[in-house]
Structure 1
Amino acid sequence: MKTSPDSRARRKLIALTVSGVILVALIAVGGYGLFVGSHNTPPEEPPTSSPPAPVAPSQPDSFRPEVPRIVPTNDPELFAHRVATALFTWDTGSGLVPLDYTSAILEVGDPSGYEQAGLASDIATYMPTRGAWVKLREYATTQRIEIDTVVVPDSWADAAAQARPGQLPPGAIAYTIDGTRHRDGVWNGTAETLTVPVAFTLFLACPPDGDPCYLLRLSQLDNPLR
């Protein structure tokens, strides 16, 4: 039985759309960083990468798209909700690239710099690769997350108690997010949506002195603390 060109193209696109899940399954993060080294260990240099050349028509010089900033707060649950939303919200037709979305999240990362390199690596496993981004852009793909629950996992108390002195900053806490990832695109002139349940844990700190919360690390996607 022969497969029509439209059917083959649609299958290829669906495979690309879920490529993020496959990539994460193949990448071993190797721990959450918080329990690997002391918080007093000098940071590694963050990885650098160059954004791909834009595929869409160039915009006027006066037009400079920007990723919305994560609004600072000292409410840990609200901060976790905002970071999770930013982590899963992107638009391939915006003129931005994955590095732009990554940079917006790094802005609310550990101000000391000790966890920044690890955090950048964590975020990369949640984002499409440059090649996948170009393919997804052909179908005007966008992504968002519908958050169901934001809770402190039961295992966090034991994990924090086992941390060595100085390994966790003051106000450190973890939140596990459960929700649904939505990817929307246009295939052969028809709008399509793919939904996938997701779960992950954010490790963050909200200083007792009232300063804004900041992000430390992320768990592997679909491998959260419970």
Structure 2
Amino acid sequence: MVATLRPRRRLVLFLSIGFGVLAALVGVGLYGLALAPTPSTPTIAVDPAAPATPPGEPEPSASSAELPPIRSTSDAESFARDAASALINWDTATDFDPVDYAQVIVDAGDPSGAETAGLASDVRIYLPTPEAWMTLRSYGTRQWLTIDEAFVPASWNDAIDQATPGQILPGTIAYTITGTRHRAGIVGTQAQETSRPIAFTLFIACEPSFDECRLLRLSEVDNPLR
């Protein structure tokens, strides 16, 4: 099952990434994370007593065919929180790789496919490159998000007012997430941890366009709507 599912899902994602589209309402920039630590300048860390996975997050087993999907809901804020965690949380100690984590986000996108290429392009900037992932895996690096706030930015009302008829799907809303990005791992024999503030905006469409909320696009990291 694993051998048949994951290559197919990779193909879907790579085909999506191959086509670029422009965001209609906001400029979605590219954010390059400084992801790969080096032995001489470690950038990761961990509390030895910290759990192997973020609190409340299920730990995928080696026999799992795929990562759990983002929970289906018609509640926009709940969806935004779950999607934000799925976007930031990953663990190199599992059998999964960046494409698997990215696919979870893309699968929660617009089922019509209209925004699939743009969303896939947004997502890959949030994740390590395959080369960086291999380096991070050598340190057993994991990352997770602690959310402080999830709110509809005031500037979203301006975007709605300025949009032309039919430009925005009915039920579309923006949620800005603020919180802390944690990263942990082992450098040599030392358990270490680092953290930093993070903020970004998710553009979501719910009812009446869709029975369940769907992710349309993502803002640039640390350049959210306010």
TM-score normalized with structure 2 length: 0.72
Shift of 1:32: 3.6
Closer/same/farther in 2, CA of residues 210 and 102 from structure 1, 3 Å limit: closer
The answer to whether the 8 A contact 2:183-2:193 is kept is yes
1:167, CA displacement in angstroms? 1.4
Per the TM alignment, residue 67 of structure 1 is displaced from its structure 2 partner at its CA by 1.3
Q: Are the structure 2 counterparts of residues 210 and 33 from structure 1 closer, same or farther at C-alpha, using a change threshold of 3 Å?
A: closer
Alignment-mate amino acid for residue 74 of structure 2: N
CA change 1:203–1:210 in 2 (3 A) is: closer
What residue is the counterpart of 1:131 in the other structure? 131
Q: Distance in 2 between matches of 1:162 and 1:209?
A: 20
Name 2:143's counterpart in structure 1: 143
- The structural deviation recorded for 1:31 is 6.2
**What secondary structure does 2:126 align onto?**
coil
Structure 1: distance between partners of 2:149 and 2:137: 30
Alignment match, 2:158 = 158
1:181 corresponding residue in structure 2: 181
* 8 Å Cα contact 1:33-1:118 kept in structure 2: no
Does the aligned pair in 2 maintain the 1:32–1:219 contact within 8 Å? no
Distance 1:191 1:65, change over 3 A: farther
Q: Which ranges in structure 1 are unaligned for 5 or more consecutive residues? A: 1-28, 37-61
Instruction: Supply the distance in 1 between the matched residues of 2:197 and 2:91 (Cα, whole angstroms).
Output: 19
State the 1:35 CA deviation: 5.5
8 Å CA contact retained: 2:139, 2:185: yes
Could you say what secondary structure the match of 1:224 adopts? coil
Contact 1:32 1:218 in 2 (8 A): no
Q: Which residue does 1:119 correspond to in 2?
A: 119
Instruction: Kindly indicate whether the alpha-carbon contact (under 8 Å) linking 1:33 and 1:115 is maintained by their aligned counterparts in 2.
Output: no
SS at match of 1:211: coil
CA distance in structure 2 between the aligned counterparts of 1:140 and 1:125, rounded to whole angstroms: 21
Which residue is 2:200 aligned to? 200
CA RMSD of aligned residues (A): 1.9
Preserved contact between residue 25 and residue 159 of structure 2 (Cα < 8 Å): no
Can you list the C-alpha shifts for 1:103-128, whole angstroms capped at 9, x where unaligned? 11111101111111000000011001
Structure 1 pair 210–126 and aligned structure 2 pair: CA distance change class (3 A): closer
CA 1:168–1:209: 2 relative to 1, 3 Å: closer
Judged with a 3 Å threshold, the aligned counterparts in structure 2 of structure 1 residues 207 and 155 are, in CA distance, closer, same or farther, namely same
Structure 2, unaligned runs of 5 or more: 1-19, 28-61
Show CA shifts across 1:88-111 (max 9, x none): 110111011100001111111011
Whether 1:75 aligns to 2:75 is yes
CA deviation after TM superposition for structure 1 residue 34, in Å: 4.2
Partner amino acid, structure 2, of 1:130: P
What is the correspondence of 1:74-113 to structure 2 with a 5 Å cutoff?
74-113=74-113
- Alpha-carbon shift at residue 168 of structure 1 (Å): 1.0
The offset of 1:209, in angstroms, is 7.1
Output the CA distance in 1 between the equivalents of 2:219 and 2:138: 30
Please state how far the C-alpha of 1:156 moved relative to its aligned partner: 0.3
How far did 1:210 drift?
6.9
Contact (CA 8 Å) 1:35, 1:163: kept in 2 or not?
no
Instruction: Give the Cα separation in 1 of the matches to 2:157 and 2:141.
Output: 39
- Closer, same or farther: CA 109–210 of 1 in aligned 2, 3 Å: closer
Query: Percent identity over the alignment?
Result: 51
Shift of 1:134: 0.5
Equivalent-residue separation in structure 1 for 2:23 and 2:125 (angstroms): 13
Matched with 1:170 is 170
